[in-house]
Each structure stands twice: as structure tokens, then as C-alpha cells.
């Protein structure tokens, strides 16, 4: 389903090459510690059950899971949404991305999910207070709209890279620079719209990457948009690449602001 506004800019998000590279890399287990940290963060946050006052009238007795509605904002291949769905059996999953190819890929990864093509920078065509858990991994952030769609007591999980992420690739000119303090910036952005930061988990580990793996790391992310056709990551020997991200957990305040 496409819910882009009329005359939306002609950007397509992640292309097929990026998605194929990301799928191969993620299927190798290279980012499984990040997925595990997201599952743990969701369990620790334990979004409270819906109450009689929630917008759709769902009662606490009818809430079968702590996270009955999961929304992945910038779903990519659906890898992380699938991990959360497995941890919350019976949850409904909405997969949202600017890339039609990404939405199709993610829906195959999360059977029974609903997919929608939309622009995260614009007002989101998603009901107020409809998400128990919202997920935003390496994706654009729209704090005001995220605050609108996450219900009071619901949870937002945001993954951002640290300044050490892929530092070895950046030293050889194969990855874009990452400014320091992104987690602090994200915390400030979401605190201003009614979220409370309840915790940050640093996920950091070395990833031994041969030439092929380094190509996947570069091709699956934004660096792929900034290098010429045929340009390859330098070095042919195995290289230990640092994976370093912060998983930031936010809880939506009881009263919408």
C-alpha cells in the first residue's frame, strides 16, 4: 500500500542493491547483538496494557501481550521487526518505509504483517496513539509524529550509531563520518515532544570482515549513495570492524502534549 502525498518528491529510499546487501549481511548474524538488545529493551520497558481510556476502547483484559501493536518506522528488510514480533507472539506489525522495495522485502520477512510506503519526514498516515511499540533503526526521525502515533505508556526504541561505528572503514575512506553525541541529540529531540528516556544500551563489538563482508557493510547503508559505480572498499585482507550503536528506550508520557 502506498500512502505518499500527491506530488511527493521523487526519492525512493533504499534501492534493491542496498536491500540485497543488507539482507545478506543481516542473515549472516553480523547484527544479531543489536536485534537481541532491542528485544531486551522492549521486555525491560514493558509497555503498560491498554486501558478503557485508550483511543480504540481496548480494555486491559483484552490486551493479550505487552506489545500488541508494533510499528517499524523505516523498516528496511524487516529484520528487527521480525525479532520483536517473535518476542511478542500475537502482535500485529506495521512496516513503514519510503522504499516500496523495502516494504515488500520486510513483509516477506514478517508474515502476516501490514506494509505501507510513506515519507517519514511528513505527517504520517497512521492513527493517533495506535502503537504500543515503535521502532526506528538507522532511519529518519520525526519526533512530533512519532509522539502522536505512540500511545500514552507506549515505548519507542531508537538505534543510532556512535562515533566509533565503522571507524576502521572510515579511516580507509570507505564509510561516511558519524558525528559524536547522536544519542544525546536524539534524547533531546524526543524529550521535547513528550517522551521520557528510560535507558540507553551501548552495543559494541568487533566484526571480523573479509573483503566481501566489507562490501556488504558499505553497500547496505548511505555510503552506497556517495561512491561511484565500480568503486570498492579498500584493503583485501580481513579487517576487524567496530560495530557500535546506542539503543535508546523512550516511554510516552501518560498525557499527550
Residue 23 sits in a domain whose CATH number is 3.40.50.150
Ramachandran assignment for 90, one of left (phi > 0), alpha (psi -120 to 50 degrees), beta (any other):
left
Can you tell me the mean pLDDT for 187-193?
96
- Look up the domain containing 122 and give its range: 16-51+61-252
Can you tell me the mean pLDDT for 185-210?
95
139 belongs to a structural domain: yes
11 belongs to a structural domain: no
Residue 99 has pLDDT above 60, yes or no: yes
Tally the C-alpha atoms within 13 A of residue 62's C-alpha that lie toward its C-beta.
Answer: 9
Residue 157 has pLDDT above 50, yes or no: yes
97 belongs to a structural domain: yes
Output the pTM of the full model.
0.85
| The three cell numbers locating residue 231 | 568503486
257 belongs to a structural domain: no
3 belongs to a structural domain: no
2 belongs to a structural domain: no
Q: What is the DSSP letter of 51?
A: -
Residue 64 has pLDDT above 90, yes or no: no
171 belongs to a structural domain: yes
Predicted confidence at residue 114, as pLDDT, reads: 97
Mean pLDDT for the chain overall: 85
Residue 248 β-bridge partners: 158, 200
238 belongs to a structural domain: yes
How far from 23 is each of 52, 79, 108, 121, 252, CA to CA, in Å? 41, 8, 12, 25, 31
Q: 29-66 burial, b for 16+ CB within 10 Å, e for fewer?
A: ebbeebbebbbebbeebebbbbeeebeeebeeeebebb
Total domains in the chain come to 1
Amino acid at each position: 500500500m502506498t500512502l505518499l502525498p500527491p506530488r511527493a518528491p521523487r526519492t525512493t529510499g533504499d534501492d534493491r542493491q542496498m536491500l540485497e546487501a543488507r539482507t545478506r549481511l543481516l542473515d549472516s548474524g553480523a547484527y544479531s547483538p543489536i536485534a537481541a538488545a532491542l528485544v531486551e529493551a522492549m521486555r525491560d520497558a514493558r509497555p503498560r496494557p491498554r486501558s478503557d481510556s485508550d483511543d480504540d476502547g481496548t480494555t486491559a483484559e483484552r490486551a493479550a501481550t505487552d506489545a500488541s501493536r508494533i510499528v517499524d518506522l523505516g523498516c528496511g528488510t524487516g529484520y528487527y521487526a521480525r525479532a520483536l514480533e517473535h518476542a511478542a507472539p500475537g502482535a500485529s506489525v506495521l512496516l513503514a518505509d519510503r522504499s516500496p522495495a523495502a516494504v515488500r522485502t520486510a513483509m516477506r520477512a514478517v508474515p502476516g504483517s501490514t506494509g505501507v510506503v510513506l515519507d517519514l519526514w511528513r505527517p504520517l498516515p497512521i492513527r493517533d496513539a495506535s502503537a504500543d511499540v515503535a521502532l526506528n533503526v538507522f532511519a529518519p526521525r520525526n519526533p512530533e509524529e512519532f509522539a502522536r502515533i505512540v500511545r500514552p505508556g507506549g515505548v519507542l526504541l531508537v538505534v543510532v550509531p556512535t562515533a566509533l561505528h565503522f571507524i576502521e572503514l572510515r579511516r580507509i575512506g570507505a564509510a561516511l563520518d558519524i558525528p559524536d553525541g547522536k544519542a544525546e541529540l536524539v534524547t533531546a529531540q524526543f524529550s521535547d515532544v513528550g517522551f521520557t528516556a528510560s535507558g540507553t544500551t551501548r552495543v559494541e563489538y568487533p566484526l571480523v570482515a573479509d573483503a566481501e563482508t566489507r562490501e556488504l557493510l558499505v553497500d547496505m547503508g548511505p555510503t552506497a549513495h556517495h561512491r561511484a559505480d565500480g568503486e570498492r572498499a579498500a584493503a583485501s585482507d580481513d579487517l576487524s570492524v567496530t560495530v557500535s550503536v546506542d539503543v535508546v528506550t523512550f516511554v510516552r508520557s501518560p498525557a499527550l502534549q
